[in-house]
Amino acid sequence: CAICHQIGGQGAVIGPQLDGVGARGLDRILEDVIDPNRNVDPMFRYSNVTLKDGDTLSGLARGEAGQNLILIDLTGKENPIPKSDIDTIEVSKLSLMPTGFGEIIPQEDFNNLLSFLLSQSTPPKKP
């Protein structure tokens, strides 16, 4: 999870931060984990960027820096893409999170994951 999500200051910020996620309740956490495409915040929809040379890149568009679009890949790496090289950008309605996550990991690990997430009911206090 830490590849994309941050909790308690640990992990990446590709997907939503998980501090306080337990307050959402079991039903919403199950929906988010098992069927992440059901309700995707626009901030976390990935983009397919087709370059003028025909190459296609995918990731999260996280703004611009000068004449570059900043695309975050699945490893969390920022990739600046010159806007002049871009032919088209298509924003997906899908999440980067894999579907069927409950079937990917062993049942005991999945149950432990849910228990852990539910225990995160309040965000940590800022110093």
Q: Of all helices (H) and strands (E), which one includes residue 11?
A: strand 10-11
Q: In terms of pTM, does the model score above 0.85? A: no
**What is the mean pLDDT of the segment spanning 20-42?**
91
pLDDT at 51: 97
pLDDT at residue 103 is higher than 90: no
3-state secondary structure of 16: coil
Alpha-carbon distances of 66 from 50, 83, 89, rounded to whole Å: 20, 9, 18
pLDDT surpasses 60 at 54: yes
- List pLDDT tens digits, range 63-88: 899 999 999 887 778 899 999 999 99
pLDDT above 70 (res 5): yes
Q: Which residue has the higher pLDDT, 126 or 15?
A: 15
Distance (Å, rounded) from C-alpha 114 to C-alpha 108?
Answer: 10
pLDDT of residue 85: 97
Backbone φ, ψ for residue 96 (5° rounding): -75, -20
Decide if pLDDT at 50 tops 70: yes
